[in-house]
């Protein structure tokens, strides 16, 4: 199976399929600069909004469904764009940062800002386990974009969130 020619994400592309809208973070991934950072900021803002109404059970359901739907959406969007790990796909940042914020809640603004900074560092620089997770499901030459790549898109961000959490948890008593 041959991949389509690489396609750029734009508003028309985003609105052409529900998976595109989800994978592109409802437009946050369309940012011409630093779409991962913009997607993470969108995640932070929506977390603060949703957390007013969501309890533990709702967050667990949202995070689990978000992971499952996210792998599907990232796979479909990557296939349709013809790029194994498109920069415009930011659902991975969104779901991982939601999970991170949920794990550190209730955290004050400074702790949330630290979480944002550490998460962006781990996601962008990809040190240690984050780099391993990023390389683990890379597309092999001549292979078609599949579920492994969709899973891989999400995995490295989950590892970045876990690394952030590992650094932040020892200081938890200082957050509030």
Instruction: Evaluate whether 145 touches 75 at the Cβ level (below 8 Å).
Output: yes
pLDDT tens string 143-176: 899 999 999 999 999 999 999 999 998 876 555 5
Q: How far is residue 88's CA from residue 91's CA, in Å, rounded to a whole number?
A: 9
Instruction: Evaluate whether 123 touches 36 at the Cβ level (below 8 Å).
Output: yes
What are the boundaries of each domain within the chain? 34-169
Q: What pLDDT does residue 6 have?
A: 82
In 10 A of CB 154, how many CB atoms?
24
% of the chain surpassing 70 pLDDT: 94
Residue 5: C-alpha distances to residues 78, 79, 99, 138 (Å):
12, 10, 34, 18
Query: In sequence order, what are the residues at sequence separation of 6 or more whose Cβ sits closer than 8 angstroms to the Cβ of residue 65?
Result: none
Residue 113: C-alpha distances to residues 17, 49, 61, 141, 153 (Å):
33, 16, 25, 39, 24
- What the block records as the tokens of 130 is 């984050």
H-helix or E-strand spanning residue 14: helix 11-15
pTM: 0.93
Is residue 141 very low, low, confident or very high in pLDDT (cuts 50, 70, 90)? confident
pLDDT tens string 47-90: 999 999 999 999 999 999 999 999 999 999 999 999 999 999 99
User: Do you find a cis peptide bond into 106, omega within 30 degrees of 0?
Assistant: yes
Q: What pLDDT does residue 172 have?
A: 66
pLDDT above 70: residue 31 = yes
pLDDT tens string 110-139: 999 999 999 999 999 999 999 999 999 988
């Amino acid at each position: 199976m041959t991949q389509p020619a690489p396609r750029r994400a734009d508003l028309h592309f985003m609105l052409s399929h529900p998976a595109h809208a989800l994978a592109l973070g409802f437009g946050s991934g369309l940012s011409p600069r630093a779409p991962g950072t913009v997607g993470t900021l969108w995640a932070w803002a929506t977390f603060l909004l949703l957390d007013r109404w969501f309890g533990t059970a709702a967050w667990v359901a949202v995070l689990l469904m978000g992971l499952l739907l996210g792998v599907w959406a990232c796979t479909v969007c990557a296939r349709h764009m013809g790029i194994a790990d498109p920069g415009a796909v930011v659902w991975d940042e969104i779901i991982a940062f939601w999970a991170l914020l949920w794990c550190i809640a209730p955290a004050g603004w400074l702790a949330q800002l630290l979480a944002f900074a550490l998460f962006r560092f781990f996601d962008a620089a990809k040190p240690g386990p984050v780099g391993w997770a990023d390389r683990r499901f890379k597309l092999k030459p001549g292979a078609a974009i599949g579920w492994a790549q969709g899973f891989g898109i999400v995995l490295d961000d989950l590892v970045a969130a876990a690394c952030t959490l590992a650094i932040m948890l020892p200081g938890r008593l200082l957050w509030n």
